[in-house]
Amino acid sequence: MRIVAIINQKGGVGKTTTTANLCHAIAESGLKVTAIDLDPQGHLAVSFGVTGQNNGGIDEVMLKQKGIQQQLISVRDNLQLITSGSRLKDIEQLADNNSPRGVLLKNALNGCLNDQDFVFIDCPPSSGLLVANALIAADEILIPMSSDFLALQGLSHLMSTIKRFEKALKRNYKTLLVMSRYSPDRRISSQVLNILLTHFPEQILATVIRETALLAECPSFGKTILEYSPKSRSARDFRSLALDFLEDKVMYGNK
């Protein structure tokens, strides 16, 4: 089982869109996937059409009130979801101060979900305790990047955070980037991509996710792009991205 944190401390980079559609595309290929919504906003659940869940989610697992198996919701073939839960935003205050609060998620996952090929953690756009839990629990990191210069500034901060965790935990994460919300007709998009290729050679997945209105529309219908518009360019992008992720296909040099 591979545990992947999908993380970017900057909002608006397509993080939840990437999580939902990549998870579905990988599950569509026959692999077993669990997606964990670690963002108190709960947008990942909405993207899969899961609304009005009052039974809690990963919040109750981290607070040791329920086991992780009790919180699993089957959302698609080979794909299950653990929602955020209404108390996730209070986890910092509610956590047991007698034990390290950064390992709540790691401990919750320990020995569980071993029948899964992947666990993807959709992280909040912050650098607080929830993100720390994701980084401590994960083996790999996937960073969605929008093609604007403010995203580059945020990436510098994020990479510093990752380095600190690597040093503290005495480990090296497998870290990949994905270009999301990419506009081929905007010069800034290619400029940002070229800067990233210079600083992160062989770490950017080969397929870029192009910006389309369809990707913004499908969560309101509780569908991924693979269901909402299965023959669209965006659906092709995500199926290609899933293949890249599974086969470690990355960009070499300028695009």
Q: Which of 221, 139, 142, 152 is nearest to 189 (CA)?
A: 152
3-7, 58-62, 189-193, 201-205: least confident range: 189-193
Q: What is the pLDDT of residue 115?
A: 94
How far apart CA 3 and CA 156 sit, in angstroms, is 23
pLDDT in tens, 138-154: 999 999 998 887 778 78
Q: Model confidence at 181, in pLDDT bands (50, 70, 90)?
A: confident
Residue 178 has pLDDT above 70, yes or no: yes
Question: What is the architecture of the domain spanning 2-247?
Answer: 3-Layer(aba) Sandwich (3.40)
Residue 87 has pLDDT above 90, yes or no: no
The kind and range of the H/E element at 121 are strand 118-122
How far apart CA 241 and CA 13 sit, in angstroms, is 16
Q: What is the pLDDT of residue 255?
A: 45
How far apart CA 124 and CA 131 sit, in angstroms, is 7
How far apart CA 255 and CA 251 sit, in angstroms, is 8
Do β-strands 33-37 and 2-6 pair in parallel, antiparallel, or remain unpaired?
unpaired
- Phi/psi-derived region of residue 67, left when phi > 0, alpha when psi is between -120 and 50, beta in every other case: beta
SS3 250: strand
Biggest alpha carbon–alpha carbon distance for the chain: 54
Q: Return the structure tokens found at 98.
A: 């007698």
Q: Model confidence at 94, in pLDDT bands (50, 70, 90)?
A: low
Rg (CA), the chain: 17
